Structure 1
Amino acid sequence: MEIRALQAKATQIRMDLLQMIAQAQTGHTGGSLSNTDILTALYYRIMNIDPARPKAADRDRFVLSKGHSVESLWSILADRGFFPKEELATFSRFGTKLIGHPNNKVPGIEMNTGALGHGLAVAVGMALAAKKDSAAYRTYCLMGDGEQAEGSVWEAAMAGAHYKLDNLIGIIDRNRLQISGTTEDVMGLDPLEDKWTAFGWHVVSIDGNDMQALVETFEAVPAHRGKPTLVMANTVKGKGVSFAENVPHWHHHVPNQAELEKALAELAAAFENYEQKGQVR
């Protein structure tokens, strides 16, 4: 997909996930909206994946370490054909596979996540396995910024640098908000880029809601041979819905009918704008 088509696709995914959350009456809305552009760039442009062969040995691996923001991932996997889109209507219902965190019974999911701080360690293992097998696949791991308070993240960061895993790409959804307030009030993280640099990673800081910047950054990996890459994706929590952006309450807020209709109208207008400018397919 070209950039304009990716932007339109991300807008469509935001509409899908909002309707899914509203129907289920549960979900992590703000973080799913903030990470949608990142996931769209990866799943529609960057990663080597095949919905018809979800366990292919040469597939790129993706780990959603911030597993609570799974709604955008479910929407994308359904849209890509990993499972029927109709199953999104079962989100969080009794007996569904589409629970509130990634579930590896679903095609396209590499590991169960949700306990924050665990995803990067497993991603390090996946990347190390590829090195030992002389395999070409890459491993991508999306973390939350509040998750950086977990000590296991930094143990994994040390290991990634120690083993020179330049086939490993860590991404931080740096929206600066978590359920109990701003990240800097809950547990100060800055200067976060400097910390990852000190741990031996090649750090790139970008606007994580800028599709052009995301694509250019991911396509340049590995920008530094012998080092894992950390993409500091500075995002807006609640991105795409004007009245939800940068509002802590929307971390776990379920839109009511009036909010849903207003949000969908805003996103539909954005989608039409991308469509009118062409390149949407």
Structure 2
Amino acid sequence: MNHLATARANTAAEQRFAPARMRRTVLEMAYAGSTVHIACAFSIIELLTVLYRSYLRYPANDPRAEGRDFLVLSKGHGVMAQYACMRELGWLDDTHVQGYFKDGSGLKGLSDSRVPGLEVTSGSLGHGFSVGVGIAMGLQRKGTDQKVYAIVGDGELNEGPIWEGALVAAHHRMDNLMVIVDKNGFQAMGTTDDVLTLGDLSAKFASFGFATLEVDGHDEAAVDAAVRRLWSSGTGKPKALIARTVKGKGVPFMESDNRWHYTRLNPQTFAEAIDALGLPGAAT
């Protein structure tokens, strides 16, 4: 492929995974289904954008291809962000978006492994990461070059299984595993500092035997560079990327307002949120 063709392909990929458009998909799904968890989907949009655009491999664009990489959404309540990526890939369409949470919809409000493209059934927080560790161990034993990315919430780090899984991953030197922490500072019932102080997450994961980096989770270029740097570190350790994010990012009246963990859209707030993205109201 010549330089011009490569540039066109890169531009097409960037347009396909435009964060504003994916946030619009989340809003459309949440409004169609009168459902919640909008803000916690918004905080991981750029993280997913970078992974799907540049790192996750799906041979023949098949979400169940044997040689695929694995994205484990341990914070399963953020699944609308992953649905938005799946729409960009053509795995979901307008019917899935407009029919979300209606009778006959196969899409749940939490990650469900029965949906092609979703690797785990999660929502009982703390468990998805351990499943990801198990997948990474299996791939390690098979000797493949497949990668596992596990996205966890910072509030989810309150759960003991996270740290049990981290110990196992470090002990077995699972250098095919990367945990990405959505560090937005909130959980369902308050700030993480109020509920259970987490301290220095980079230092914590490093003490558990992980190669760690911290990054602005909404800066796509910085996230891309950090992921690339962790994979090229050559340490033989599992990786941890601590992503500083904003809950509700992209819609100013939702940002850092924890009420949008459980608040549903009405016609007025839906229209205002769409306008805040600077995009037309109807998805394309």
TM-score by length of 1: 0.91
Determine whether 1:41 maps to 2:50: yes
Change (3 A) 1:145 1:83: same
Identify unmatched segments of 5+ residues in structure 2.
Answer: 1-9
CA offset digits 1:12-62 (Å, max 9, x no partner)? 000111111012111201110111111111112221124642222211001
Correspondence for 2:195:
186
CA distance in 2, matches of 1:255, 1:69: 16
CA offset digits 1:83-111 (Å, max 9, x no partner)? 33321222222332101011222111112
- Contact 1:43 1:76 survives alignment (8 Å): yes
Aligned counterpart for 2:155 among listed residues 140, 146, 150? 146
3-state DSSP of counterpart to 2:43:
helix
Change (3 A) 1:269 1:104: closer
- Contact 2:148 2:176 survives alignment (8 Å): yes
Determine whether 1:26 maps to 2:35: yes
Change (3 A) 1:53 1:38: same
Determine whether 1:161 maps to 2:208: no
Correspondence for 2:23:
14
| Runs (4+) off by over 6 Å | none
Using the TM superposition, give the Cα deviation of residue 6 of structure 1 relative to its aligned residue in structure 2, in angstroms: 6.2
What is the aligned residue count? 270
- Which is bigger in relative contact order (C-alpha 8 A, separation at least 6)? 1
CA offset digits 1:127-180 (Å, max 9, x no partner)? 111111110100000000000000000000001100101110000100001111
Determine whether 1:130 maps to 2:153: no
Correspondence for 1:278:
none
CA distance in 1, matches of 2:234, 2:158: 26
CA offset digits 1:221-244 (Å, max 9, x no partner)? 322421011000000000000111
CA RMSD of aligned residues (A): 1.9
Identify unmatched segments of 5+ residues in structure 1.
Answer: 271-281
3-state DSSP of counterpart to 2:105:
coil
- Contact 1:169 1:231 survives alignment (8 Å): yes
- Contact 2:39 2:248 survives alignment (8 Å): yes
- Contact 2:213 2:230 survives alignment (8 Å): no
Aligned counterpart for 2:240 among listed residues 230, 240, 261? 230
Correspondence for 2:216:
207
Using the TM superposition, give the Cα deviation of residue 263 of structure 1 relative to its aligned residue in structure 2, in angstroms: 1.4
